[in-house]
Structure 1
Amino acid sequence: MELPAGWMMAPLSDLVPPEGIFTDGDWVESKDQDPEGYVRLTQLADVGDGFFRDRSKRSMTSEKADELRCTFLQEGDILVARMPDPLGRACLYPGSKRPAVTVVDVCVIRTGQSGVNNRWLMWAINSPQVRQQIHSYQTGTTRKRISRKNLEKVELAVPPLAEQHRIVEALEGHLSRLDAASVNVKRCTTRTDHLWSATLNSVAEGVLPGRRVTSKTLYISEVAEVSGGIQKQKKRIPIRNAFPFLRVANVARGRLDLSNIHEIELFDGELEKHRLEHGDLLVVEGNGSPDQIGRAASWNGAVKNAVHQNHLIRVRPGNLLLPRYLELIWNSPLVINQLREVARSTSGLYTLSTSKVKAVKIPVPSLQDQMALVESADTWETCTSSARSSLQHASARSKSLHRAILSRAFTGHLVPQDPADEPASVLLDCIRAERQAQGGKPKRARRPRKTVTADAPPPPPASSTLPSTTAVQQELPL
């Protein structure tokens, strides 16, 4: 990449002056923690992609932190996650009323007074260019990670210090507006979900424009055939045949996902007994979650000679039920609430059985009224599906814009260059000279000189950055 005037390539380790630090967090084991301790233990879960998540509730005593010679965090420190997801994400530590340390899988970077702008460096680490380098340095098979030594090797395009301040101001302004737009997209998505839930509730209540239908409340066992599926055992004797085998993963609420269908070998008579028919409702037996219990979708006959596993319960509607009406009513709040009650167990898990499904009660209007309710619901589904599609596109667009803004910021295309700016080489030369005068590389750990107590928290940092700009949130066209 051709660098703009005044910019310079440098490894991450060259950006930390002698008074700064570049170190891993501390090795704090479970036995070292104390829920009543005064020192907060920040963890990987606290490190977001550009923001501090504030999730960890772990603590330790001041005495234990002093005994382990922990590195205490300061407001404005950059926290870099050395494990996914995503690997290498970075945020600024916002400070706390309590002293805080962090775990060994989080790298701490402090830029000090004479280093680069810490906010600029945090966003640079999160940029696509740097994230790609971090990915190339990752190691491990099941748990990917990057070592601090490899993190030090990551190369950054460093602009003049004055331009770093301008980049931060412009970048955070753009991202603030983009975040506001993303919040609106999420809010609209939630409202769309609520609208569809209200539509299903109207079906359950028999509400049509201008009237309410009359229905009978019947048990499922009175209007449908309920049966279990096939258990896929390791010791099933092969009979040299293979049939499509639907699993829990193939059934979402109100829709089927047939992108990955397994196969199973069947014994004589099993295909005739378990073969799915168009309109069969497949009900998820349970996965322990009250939100997902009993989710169901109608089989559409897309695959010939399909059967289903024993964790799916088949509900085959009789002459009094339209398959589409059954699917709508089953996924309505009326039935979902019933399922949660009957599926709850003393162990805290939520599971169903064929007997529990048979005991579910549903309103059964005439076939003509069922058809009218289905047509009304399908009209609303068309609207909500179109809205969801637009919102998904907007969400994807938002993520693309976020990456594009970060990419432009760190290639010199976000703000104009000023020939009067002192080149980045001057700043890097000063850092290098200061380090050589004090013995070489930046510190890898700083240990407290005395025990940290509630009355003596770590001193506030001397920030090298300009005050952050408060961006005005406004609509951003997606």
Structure 2
Amino acid sequence: MSDWLEGCLADSIASLDAGVSVNAEDRPHGAGEIGVLKTSAVSGGTFHPEQNKTVVERERHLVAEPVQGDSILVSRMNTPALVGESCYVRDPQPSLFLPDRLWQLKPKNRSIVDMRWLSFTLQSAACRRHVEIHATGTSGSMKNLPKSKLLALPVRYPAPEEQVRIAQILDTLDTAIHDTESIIAKLKAVKQGLLHDLLTRGIDANGELRLAQAEVPHLYKESPLGWIPKAWNASVVDIEFTVDSGITLGAHRAPRSHPRKYLRVANVHRARLVLDDIAELEASDSETAVRALEPGDLLVVEGHASTDEIGRCAIADESVRGMLFQNHLFRLRPKRLLPSYALLWMNSAFVRAYWRCEAATSSGLNTINRSKLRRLRVAVPTPEEQEMIAGREACLASRIKEETRVLGKLKTEKSGLMDDLLTGRVRVTPLLESTAPLMHQPTAPIVQQPAAQTRG
């Protein structure tokens, strides 16, 4: 990369211009209105124009710095993790303006610096390290990035043509990442709606989602849960599960002669167990025999500061067989319910609404009363239908998991390519002059890595 020019950001940027603070309503602007961006408009290297507030009429004349196209925005004041966050803005946003906490970078000469390439440079690991070193402020929750320090960011400048090619490659990966994120968001929305239908309407004998009660009232009956399919029963936790509390912790539980692994509230998330930190306690053989977990057991969180997290439920699998559980968890062992269906019900919107109404609050902690847990109502389809409901949800969950895996792979690939391409470790060369007439057609970039160079 000897042909790259060594310099700093100030060599290509004429100014960093911020907006002003104005009074605004906390809602996105509408037609005929103007908006001022929130700092959250710059997030994850992406511009989110919907993250804005409507400027009040009397202060519209005060706004400054409209969002321009082919520009870069940088968060100059934010939390330690987000200060210096940046994004590229492709198209102008004439009705959106910057607040005082965001900068807009304006180049000296667009013919010698590609702003899309520069935006990737500002998102690189090297830039992140530079920001972490130079961000100032005594507050642990808020940091400031001095303008002079950002302009002093070391930058290696390839030829303009190579900047464009690098940006094209990384742009392609960015598009794939955003498309995959969109797919995951849509799948999650579909799953949420499908779960509601599965747990209220179920699946008919033909394997199809049963029509709603309003359309086929003769297929439903009234119950304490509302309208449910005629083949279903309305029951309660006390009938459908064996309910047990876990082991009370204390100094006497320090692991000595009989250390046993056990699960805590931190290990039990909604519909999943997090097992990267498993603690141990002292427990006798008799206690272990009574409270050892078996695959199919459900673990329910007894208390949490957030009402959205109270009662979250996960299912035990083979990986936790024989482990114990602490007293702030309830173990629900299904008697006749399919465990996978029972898990869906215990995490359902109905159950979460029940806990929001029935949970007790003390010292900032929302807790589940054991007697109210036992009275919690449960919809009980036939065993065959339970299996179909759980299978339908599992199929969609598997698709989300696969798309999430693909997303992680794309992000890893992008991170590696950014490190290679933005440092010149891997070079992107233009096509040979003889292929110039074909340049208007989509063409894969040619990537060369000199054999003599090594990663370091």
Q: Taking structure 1 as the reference length, what is the TM-score of the superposition?
A: 0.62
Asked if the contact 1:281–1:298 (Cα under 8 Å) also holds between the matched residues in 2, the reply is: yes
Alpha-carbon spacing, 1:40–1:415, altered in 2? closer, same or farther (3 Å): farther
Match of 1:454 in 2: none
The RMSD of aligned alpha carbons is: 5.0
Alpha-carbon spacing, 1:40–1:317, altered in 2? closer, same or farther (3 Å): closer
Match of 1:78 in 2: 72
SS at match of 1:10: strand
Alignment of 1:107-146 (within 5 A): 107-113=103-109, 116-135=113-132, 137=134, 142-143=140-141, 145=143, 146=145
Asked if the contact 2:345–2:378 (Cα under 8 Å) also holds between the matched residues in 1, the reply is: no
Asked if the contact 1:120–1:167 (Cα under 8 Å) also holds between the matched residues in 2, the reply is: yes
Match of 2:237 in 1: 220
Alpha-carbon spacing, 1:271–1:147, altered in 2? closer, same or farther (3 Å): farther
Match of 1:296 among 313, 318, 327: 313
Asked if the contact 1:218–1:362 (Cα under 8 Å) also holds between the matched residues in 2, the reply is: yes
Q: Cα distance, 1:8 vs. partner?
A: 0.6
Structure 1 residue identity aligned to 2:107: T
Measured in 2, the distance between the counterparts of 1:40 and 1:383 equals 42
SS at match of 1:345: helix
Match of 2:172 in 1: 174
Q: Cα distance, 1:392 vs. partner?
A: 2.8
Kindly indicate whether residue 284 of structure 2 is the aligned counterpart of residue 284 of structure 1. no
Q: Cα distance, 1:362 vs. partner?
A: 2.9
Measured in 1, the distance between the counterparts of 2:323 and 2:15 equals 65
Measured in 2, the distance between the counterparts of 1:239 and 1:339 equals 33
Match of 1:261 in 2: 278
Match of 1:57 in 2: 53
Structure 1 unpaired stretches of 5+: 420-468, 473-478
Structure 2 residue identity aligned to 1:81: S
Q: Give aligned pairs, total.
A: 392
Measured in 2, the distance between the counterparts of 1:377 and 1:191 equals 17
Alpha-carbon spacing, 1:163–1:314, altered in 2? closer, same or farther (3 Å): closer
User: Which of structures 1 and 2 has the bigger CA Rg?
Assistant: 1
Asked if the contact 2:38–2:52 (Cα under 8 Å) also holds between the matched residues in 1, the reply is: yes
Residues 202-230 of structure 1 deviation map (CA, whole Å, 9 limit, x = unaligned) = 9x847566899955432222343335456
Measured in 1, the distance between the counterparts of 2:393 and 2:135 equals 45
Alpha-carbon spacing, 1:206–1:269, altered in 2? closer, same or farther (3 Å): farther
Q: Cα distance, 1:403 vs. partner?
A: 3.0
Alpha-carbon spacing, 1:326–1:418, altered in 2? closer, same or farther (3 Å): closer
Residues 304-338 of structure 1 deviation map (CA, whole Å, 9 limit, x = unaligned) = 4613232x3332444xx25xx144234138x7243
Match of 1:150 in 2: 149
Q: Cα distance, 1:260 vs. partner?
A: 1.8
Structure richer in strand, relative to its length: 2
Match of 1:443 in 2: none
SS at match of 1:392: helix
SS at match of 1:260: coil
Q: Cα distance, 1:355 vs. partner?
A: 2.7
Measured in 1, the distance between the counterparts of 2:315 and 2:166 equals 53
Q: Cα distance, 1:387 vs. partner?
A: 3.7
Structure 2 residue identity aligned to 1:328: Y
Residues 93-132 of structure 1 deviation map (CA, whole Å, 9 limit, x = unaligned) = 555444734234x444221457734333223212445445
Residues 399-421 of structure 1 deviation map (CA, whole Å, 9 limit, x = unaligned) = 134335545653373452899xx
Alpha-carbon spacing, 1:347–1:110, altered in 2? closer, same or farther (3 Å): farther
Kindly indicate whether residue 427 of structure 2 is the aligned counterpart of residue 413 of structure 1. yes
Alpha-carbon spacing, 1:151–1:338, altered in 2? closer, same or farther (3 Å): same
Asked if the contact 2:268–2:314 (Cα under 8 Å) also holds between the matched residues in 1, the reply is: yes
Match of 1:342 in 2: 354
Q: Cα distance, 1:345 vs. partner?
A: 3.4
Measured in 1, the distance between the counterparts of 2:202 and 2:98 equals 56
- Of structures 1 and 2, the one with the larger relative CO (CA 8 A, separation 6+) is 1
Match of 2:266 among 249, 258, 261: 249
SS at match of 1:88: coil
Structure 1 residue identity aligned to 2:369: S
